[in-house]
């Protein structure tokens, strides 16, 4: 299989990445005025554009959206309508994907709790759900529950890529069956009458530059070799899924991912084992952030401006409870002022800090911004992936609202959480 990739030219209105500067400032100000801050704004039209670009680059591949990137209902429904499948990391994601209308759902079981397996097996009795295992004893646990359906075996490839050590799954023993044992686990599953469909491997999240691409290519080639080894054992495989989230340029100076080159390199690596260019299996990919990251921004309001000997601290009402990535990964997100006269102000070095009682609670440090004043609105870019999805209620801070833009209209798709919501599950004495 060597799918023909689409032309490298990009349709007008569908650039390979949407920069923060492309968001309409006046519209963001109006939404913040109407709905308050912190506020996530998601552009569903952009999600569709990203899905279309993936389809054009990988026309013959099985594409499954990694639901963990953003599981909000309006996002899932939009992606389901494009015809993509769903890759889920927990039973809750399986339920939400089915509720959103996905026809194809795969559950990737990573040390799965018993309640997750119970729920997924129950759902599989009525829905088309495949399961990916990452340990041989999961076969026993599935057999105990009477399930022997479509199965993928996750392989630990021994190579990792991605934007941070915490997301380079390909080298972490937590994930997948060791490569040297994978063929034996596949054989065992086939002998036990599981419907073994294929293999799965994941290098890491945020694959973007040349080094990441080399690692990705090595992973895919290894999967091609392993596929040939298993086929030689007399076991037919249908699909090889090469996970690894396709990256987006969080820094404004970084170039976007060359998706066509990635597609070509992936297909060549998978089909290059015997020189024929045809591995005899279908390619599967599972992008997450690539679909949703640049489709979202976080809008926050300045509540404090404090001059210190080290820097100007810009205190805002969004923090690590709203956008965790900077605190967790030292992640960079573009930030711009939405003030009407921002272009006329001098710029200055700032630390943009949230309201959480942790020194890690900073959205940015050493960041040049138009001189801030209390009441200004700031926009934080590339917040559509792992933004609201990782939001939390530490310090008893309610989570923000989410507004979706869809075909020129806006609507609330997640209401702002309240303090009453935070205590709703507590049991009175």
pLDDT digits (tens, 9 = 90+) for 290-333: 999 999 999 999 999 999 999 999 999 999 999 999 999 999 99
Q: Which of 250, 247, 245 is nearest to 331 (CA)?
A: 250
pLDDT for 163 equals 41
Among 74, 88, 267, 357, the one annotated catalytic: 357
Structure confidence at residue 205 (pLDDT):
63
- Whether the pLDDT of residue 55 is over 70: the answer is yes
Across-strand partners of 368?
349
Looking at per-residue confidence, does 160 or 109 come out higher? 109
CA-wise closest residue to 4 among 52, 49, 55, 57: 57
* Model confidence pLDDT, tens digit, residues 344-357: 999 999 999 999 99
- Asked if residue 311 lies in contact with residue 148, where contact means CB atoms within 8 angstroms, the answer is no
Residue 30 has pLDDT above 60, yes or no: yes
Residue 411 has pLDDT above 70, yes or no: yes
Q: Look at residue 297 in the predicted model and tell me its pLDDT.
A: 98
Closest Cα partner for 332 from 405, 251, 411? 251
Whether the pLDDT of residue 6 is over 50: the answer is no
Higher pLDDT, 97 or 9: 97
Residue that has been written with the tokens 């400032």 in this structure: 25
User: SS3 for 402?
Assistant: strand
Binned at pLDDT 50, 70 and 90, residue 217 comes out as confident
- 391-400 pLDDT, tens digit per residue, is 999 999 999 9
DSSP assignment letter at 255: P
The answer to whether residue 1 scores a pLDDT higher than 60 is: no
> How confident is the model at residue 251, as a pLDDT?
94
pLDDT at 224 over 80: yes
Please report the pLDDT score of residue 11 as a whole number.
41
pLDDT of 374 > 90? The answer is yes
Predicted local distance difference test score (pLDDT) of residue 208: 76
Asked if the model's pLDDT at residue 235 lies above 80, the reply is: yes
Name residue 316's beta-bridge partners: 302
pLDDT on residue 2: 36
Span 229-236, average pLDDT: 90
Whether 357 is catalytic is yes
Among 118, 238, 242, 130, smallest CA distance to 176 is for 242
In this predicted structure, the answer to whether residue 274 has a pLDDT above a threshold of 90 is no
| 228 pLDDT above the threshold of 80 | yes
Task: Tell me whether strands 362-370 and 282-285 are parallel, antiparallel or unpaired.
Answer: unpaired
Share of the chain above pLDDT 70, in %: 90
Tell which residue, 58, 55, 63, has the closest CA to residue 3. Answer: 58
Contact 333, 381 (CB under 8 A): yes
| Domains of the chain listed by start with CATH number | 45-292 (3.20.20.10), 294-419 (2.40.37.10)
For the chain, give the percent of residues with pLDDT over 90: 76
Q: Give yes or no for residue 12 having a pLDDT over 60.
A: no
Q: Sorting pLDDT into bands at 50, 70 and 90, what band is 279?
A: low
Residue pair 328/44 in contact by the 8 Å Cβ criterion: no
pLDDT at 288: 95
DSSP state of 25: H
Q: Which of 99-103, 260-264, 406-410, 420-424 is predicted least confidently?
A: 260-264
Q: What is the pLDDT of residue 206?
A: 66
In this model, does residue 220 exceed pLDDT 60? Answer: yes
Q: What is the 3-state secondary structure (H, E, C) of 53-114?
A: HHHHHCCCCEEEEEHHHCCCHHHHHHHHHCCCEEEECCHHHHHHHHHHCCCCEEEEECCCCH
Q: How far is the C-alpha of 102 from the C-alpha of 78, rounded, in Å?
A: 10
The C-alpha atoms of residue 212 and residue 84 are separated, in whole angstroms, by 25
Determine the pLDDT at residue 71: 98
Q: 267: pLDDT confidence band, cut at 50, 70 and 90?
A: confident
| Cis before 307? omega within 30 | no
pLDDT of residue 264: 87
DSSP codes of every residue in 281-297: SEEEE--SHHHHGGGEE
- CA 148/CA 343 separation, integer angstroms: 62
Rg (CA), the chain: 23
Work out whether strand 312-316 and strand 296-307 pair parallel, antiparallel, or are unpaired. antiparallel
The 10s digit of each residue's pLDDT in 156-193 is 877 544 443 434 444 567 878 988 899 999 999 999 99
Q: How many C-beta neighbours within 10 Å does residue 142 have?
A: 24
Cβ-Cβ contacts under 8 Å for 193 (sequence gap 6 or more) = 148
pLDDT, position 269: 84
pLDDT, position 161:
44
How far apart CA 55 and CA 50 sit, in angstroms, is: 9
Residue 379 contacts by C-beta under 8 Å, 6 or more apart in sequence?
20, 23, 25, 28, 297, 298, 299, 335, 336, 338
- Tell me if 107 sits within 8 A of 94, measured CB to CB: yes
Q: What pLDDT, on the 0 to 100 scale, is given for residue 9?
A: 34
Q: Residues 189, 190, 193, 195: is their CA dihedral positive or negative?
A: positive
């Amino acid at each position: 299989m060597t799918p023909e990739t689409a032309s490298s030219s990009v349709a007008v209105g569908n650039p390979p990445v949407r920069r923060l500067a492309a968001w309409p400032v006046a519209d963001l100000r109006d939404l913040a005025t109407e709905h308050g801050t912190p506020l996530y704004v998601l552009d569903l039209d952009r999600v569709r554009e990203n899905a279309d670009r993936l389809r054009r680059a990988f026309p013959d591949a099985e594409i499954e959206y990694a639901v963990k990137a953003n599981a909000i209902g309006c996002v899932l429904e939009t992606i389901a309508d494009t015809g993509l499948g769903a890759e889920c990391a927990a039973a809750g994601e399986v339920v939400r994907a089915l509720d959103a209308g996905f026809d194809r759902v795969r559950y990737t079981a990573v040390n799965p709790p018993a309640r997750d397996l119970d729920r997924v097996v129950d759902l599989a009795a009525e829905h088309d759900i495949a399961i990916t295992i990452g340990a041989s004893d999961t076969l026993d646990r599935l057999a105990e529950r009477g399930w022997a359906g479509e199965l993928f075996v996750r392989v630990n490839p021994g190579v990792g890529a991605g934007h941070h050590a915490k997301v380079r799954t390909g080298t972490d023993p937590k994930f997948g069956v060791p490569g040297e044992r994978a063929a034996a686990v596949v054989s065992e599953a086939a002998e036990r009458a599981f419907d073994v469909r294929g293999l799965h491997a994941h290098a890491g999240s945020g694959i973007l530059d040349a080094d990441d691409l080399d690692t990705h290519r090595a992973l895919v080639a290894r999967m091609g070799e392993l596929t040939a080894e298993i086929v030689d054992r007399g076991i037919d495989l249908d699909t090889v899924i090469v996970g690894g989230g396709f990256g987006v340029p969080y820094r404004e100076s970084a170039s976007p991912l060359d998706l066509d080159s990635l597609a070509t390199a992936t297909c060549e690596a998978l089909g290059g084992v015997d020189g024929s260019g045809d591995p005899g299996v279908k390619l599967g990919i599972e992008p997450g952030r690539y679909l949703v990251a640049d489709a979202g921004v976080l809008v926050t309001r300045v509540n404090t401006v404090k001059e210190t000997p080290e820097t100007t601290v810009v205190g805002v009402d969004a923090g690590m409870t709203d956008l965790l990535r900077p605190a967790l990964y030292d992640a960079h997100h573009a930030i711009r002022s939405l003030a009407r006269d921002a272009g006329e102000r001098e710029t200055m070095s700032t630390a943009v800090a949230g309201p959480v009682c942790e020194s890690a609670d900073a959205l940015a440090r050493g960041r040049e911004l138009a001189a801030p004043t209390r009441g200004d609105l700031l926009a934080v870019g590339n917040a559509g992936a792992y933004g609201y999805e990782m939001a939390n209620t530490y310090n008893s801070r309610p989570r923000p609202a989410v507004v979706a833009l869809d075909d020129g209209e806006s609507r609330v798709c997640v209401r702002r959480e309240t303090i009453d919501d935070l205590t709703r599950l507590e049991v009175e004495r």
